[in-house]
Amino acid sequence: MRSLPSRLAVLAGRARGSFTAVTDHGLQGSTWGGLLPLLFDAFLTVSEYSAHELRAPRSKTRVIYGGADPERFAPDANAERRGVLFVGRLTPHKGVDRLLQALPTGERLTLVGTDGHDPRPPERDYGRLLKRLASERDVRFVGAAAEGDLPSLYRSAAVLALPSVDRTCYGKAVRVSELLGLAVLEAMASGTPVVASRIGGVAEIVQDGITGFLVTPGDTAELHWHLKQLLRDPRLAARMGAAAREAVLERFTWQAVAERCLAAYQPC
């Protein structure tokens, strides 16, 4: 809705009496106040948290969530599961520094993602901070993994970690950290349990104690404990991983997302 063509398209649709809908994609940090509720018939969000942050009108809001392809992201009974996996940008609000501090002794951590390239100090030195914290640990910096490599990375990990924070290691408050967490859904579809911060929309897709564990953002001791639980108890990890995949099959496939979208497009 920030571009002129988008605005003109909406106005033209309203003039013709067409049903209009808007999504929250790319609108992080914005709100849906002002005249927007008058322009649209439906507001589609990826989480209840997103709807709250954007101040979407409750009567017109439909939460569609996001999804994962359960055929592409699927467990492999023959794959050896080992260590902790992180998938995402290596930026301060993702809390990767806390993950490095919380990593249980002797366990491997695989970091998939690229630096945020923030030009401002001290955030611009975050990559060096991560390398320093990783220097005496078993850590692999994979960089930007090819799309074809992601499924095998998920299914060969013992646990996925998403340690996002509401306040970075530099003391900067993060107003909106995770609207949903697609990496979480892809890991769950792969039969991989999750240890994630209880933040944003993540708590809507991870069932604490069933498909993984939710931890207090920034709490390295709590993060360490739950990572250790899953890494040292393969039966617990397998049980939670199976429950995680079942949750995706029930609610978070792209087919389910499409059906929720189609239902939302039907005028009341």
H helices within 117-266, ranges in order? 126-134, 150-155, 182-189, 220-232, 234-251, 254-265
Residues in the chain: 268
Tens digit of pLDDT per residue, the chain (268 long)? 455 556 666 666 666 767 887 887 655 446 665 556 677 888 899 999 999 998 888 899 999 999 999 999 999 999 999 999 999 999 999 999 999 999 999 999 999 998 876 777 788 899 999 999 999 899 999 999 988 999 999 999 999 999 999 999 999 999 888 999 999 999 999 999 999 999 999 999 999 999 999 999 999 999 999 999 999 999 999 999 999 999 999 999 999 999 999 999 886 5
**Beta carbons of 80 and 70 less than 8 angstroms apart:** no
Domains and CATH numbers, the chain: 4-65+253-265 (no CATH), 84-251 (3.40.50.2000)
* H or E, element range at 141: strand 138-143
| CB 57 within 8 Å of CB 209 | no
d(C-alpha 157, C-alpha 177), whole Å: 24
pTM: 0.91
CA torsion sign for 157, 241, 216, 104 is negative
* CA-to-CA dists, residue 127 to 91, 116, 119, 164, angstroms: 8, 8, 12, 16
User: To the nearest 10°, the Cα dihedral for 37, 41, 44, 45?
Assistant: 20
CB-CB neighbours of 195 under 10 Å: 28
60 touches 42 (CB < 8 A): yes
